[in-house]
């Protein structure tokens, strides 16, 4: 069925397709190959009893069954992530037909094929699925016609019967014509014999007078070679599929082992690179530690020499004043040092006063008096220190 792009796009949007371009391309190719299929949205009930609006391709597909051409009614329900997920396929028999169960079709008409289980786009698509359906249905037809209560007019049956009756023989020298092979919709009875009578019984009744004109002969059956190309294509497709399945079974294990080995090899290479980086980092850290250890030993040696020299210059081991141990270069630097010491001392005094007030050792009046006095000294020492640092070219100390 020819469908415009706008209409097909509207159907895809209505069914909320996730991959619009790929789904549209696949559906258009399917409709161009099988013109008896009609697309349209349909409310579909999934096996888990949920219902959702999906795009359905309904119609018939042609098959060649026992030398005759039939059209099997099917419905393909496409998922919202089509073509990356296989569709649900069902056989939709008419009221005059019944479903014939097989390994590919269950009693509800749902179709099960390896092609659906192994679905992987773009190796699998809807056109290939229908071709596999045609081959499977040609092997075992999924429907058969039901028996009807009244006689059926002679016509060409579009679907195969449950059993085929042989045609009537042509009588010689009899004045009646051979009836057209009316297949109708017979159904095998439960109490019927497994074999039907191939020819009707003749009775000893007078033959009618031959008519003045003979009825037209029935049209000859279609030549068998008309379906040769389609049968050959179907057989080739089936053979290719079976060979591919056999090769996949044989080589599947080897391919999986090879893939696992490739993954292990990649992991080992990544691990080797990490080990090399760790080794290089460890060697660099070792060199840095060796350099630091050498520097430490050198400073330790200098300190030991200084201590030894000091010990030799002070044989009586007298305790020196700590203030005399620090000798600034200039009086300005001494003034900076002394004011800095006063600044830190005032901080300590104010801290201890606060701690004493918390423990109720002193009163609030005593705390305020001494805090004001110490803060004033701290301020003066801080200003004098920063002034001296400014003169000495040193940066100011701010709190």
Each residue's pLDDT tens digit, 172-202: 333 333 333 333 333 333 333 333 333 333 3
Helices (H) and strands (E) in the chain, counts: 8, 6
Least confident of 28-42, 228-242, 383-397: 228-242
pLDDT for residue 248 is more than 50: yes
pLDDT for residue 227 is more than 90: no
- Whole-number Å distance between alpha carbons of 93 and 159: 10
pLDDT number for residue 199: 35
Residue 386 CB neighbour total at 10 angstroms: 19
pLDDT number for residue 399: 64
- Whole-number Å distance between alpha carbons of 222 and 235: 21
Most confident of 39-48, 165-174, 188-197, 200-209: 39-48
pLDDT for residue 353 is more than 80: yes
**Sign, CA torsion 263/269/272/278:** negative
Residue 356 CB neighbour total at 10 angstroms: 15
Q: What does the pLDDT average to over 352-379?
A: 95
- DSSP per-residue string spanning 278-290: HHHHHHHHHHHHH
Q: For residue 380, count CB atoms less than 10 angstroms from its CB and return exposed for 0-12, middle for 13-18, buried for 19 or more.
A: middle
- DSSP per-residue string spanning 285-331: HHHHHHHHHHHHHHHHHHHHHHHHHHHHH-TT-PPPPHHHH---SSH
Exposure string of 228-243, with b = 16+ CB inside 10 Å and e = fewer, is eeeeeebeeebeebee
Give which of 21, 39, 49 is closest to 87, Cα–Cα: 39
Element spanning 233, H or E:
helix 228-313
Q: What does the pLDDT average to over 357-379?
A: 95
Contact 195, 231 (CB under 8 A): no
Residue 79 CB neighbour total at 10 angstroms: 20
Residue 153 CB neighbour total at 10 angstroms: 8
Q: How many residues does the chain have?
A: 399
- Whole-number Å distance between alpha carbons of 192 and 173: 33
Give which of 163, 157, 213 is closest to 188, Cα–Cα: 163
pLDDT number for residue 323: 64
Least confident of 74-83, 254-263, 333-342: 254-263
The predicted-structure confidence for 3-41, as pLDDT tens digits, reads as follows: 788 898 999 999 999 999 999 999 999 999 898 999 999
Q: What is the pTM of this model?
A: 0.40
Give which of 132, 5, 25 is closest to 74, Cα–Cα: 132
pLDDT number for residue 377: 95
Higher pLDDT, 246 or 351: 351
Element spanning 30, H or E:
helix 20-33
pLDDT band at 319 (very low <50, low <70, confident <90, very high): low
Q: Which residue has the tokens 């028999």?
A: 93
Least confident of 92-96, 121-125, 129-133, 253-257: 253-257
pLDDT for residue 346 is more than 60: yes
pLDDT for residue 312 is more than 70: yes
Higher pLDDT, 27 or 212: 27
Least confident of 124-138, 212-226, 273-287: 212-226
pLDDT band at 231 (very low <50, low <70, confident <90, very high): low
Q: How many CA atoms lie within 13 A of 44 on its CB side?
A: 23
pLDDT number for residue 76: 94
Higher pLDDT, 220 or 372: 372
Whole-number average pLDDT of the chain: 79
* 386 alpha-carbon distance from chain centroid: 70
Q: For residue 221, count CB atoms less than 10 angstroms from its CB and return exposed for 0-12, middle for 13-18, buried for 19 or more.
A: exposed
């Amino acid at each position: 069925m020819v469908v415009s792009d706008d209409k097909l796009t509207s159907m895809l949007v209505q069914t909320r397709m996730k991959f619009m371009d790929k789904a549209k391309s696949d559906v258009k190719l399917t409709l161009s190959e099988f013109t008896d299929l009609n697309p349209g949205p349909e409310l579909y009930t999934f096996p888990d009893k949920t219902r959702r609006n999906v795009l359905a391709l309904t119609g018939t597909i042609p098959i060649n069954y026992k030398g005759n051409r039939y059209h099997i009614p099917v419905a393909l329900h496409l998922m919202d992530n089509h073509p990356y997920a296989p569709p649900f396929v069902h056989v939709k028999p008419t009221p005059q037909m019944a479903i014939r169960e097989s390994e590919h079709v269950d009693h509800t008409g749902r179709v099960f094929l390896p092609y659906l289980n192994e679905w992987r786009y773009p190796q699998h698509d809807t056109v290939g699925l229908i071709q596999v359906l045609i081959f499977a249905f040609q092997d075992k037809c999924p429907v058969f016609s039901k028996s009807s209560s009244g006689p059926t007019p002679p016509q060409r049956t579009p679907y195969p019967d449950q059993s085929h009756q042989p045609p009537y023989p042509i009588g010689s020298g009899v004045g009646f014509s051979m009836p057209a092979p009316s297949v109708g919709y017979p159904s095998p009875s439960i109490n019927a014999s497994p074999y039907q009578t191939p020819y009707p019984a003749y009775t000893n009744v007078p033959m009618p007078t031959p008519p003045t004109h003979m009825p037209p002969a029935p049209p000859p059956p279609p030549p068998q070679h008309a379906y040769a190309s389609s049968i050959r294509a179907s057989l080739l497709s089936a053979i290719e599929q079976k060979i591919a399945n056999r090769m996949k079974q044989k080589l599947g294990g080897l391919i999986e082992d090879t893939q696992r080995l490739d993954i292990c090899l990649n992991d080992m290479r990544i691990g080797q690179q990490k080990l090399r980086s760790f080794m290089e980092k460890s060697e660099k850290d070792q060199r840095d530690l060796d350099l630091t250890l050498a520097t430490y030993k050198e400073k330790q040696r200098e300190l030991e020499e200084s201590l030894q020299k000091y010990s030799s210059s002070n044989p009586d081991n007298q305790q020196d004043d700590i203030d005399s141990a620090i000798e600034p270069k200039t009086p300005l630097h001494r003034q900076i040092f002394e004011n800095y010491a006063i600044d830190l001392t005032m901080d300590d005094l104010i801290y201890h006063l606060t701690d004493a007030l918390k423990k109720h050792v002193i009163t609030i009046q005593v705390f305020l008096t001494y805090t004001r006095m110490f803060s004033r000294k701290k301020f003066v020492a801080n200003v004098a220190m920063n002034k001296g640092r400014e003169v000495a070219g040193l940066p100011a100390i701010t709190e």
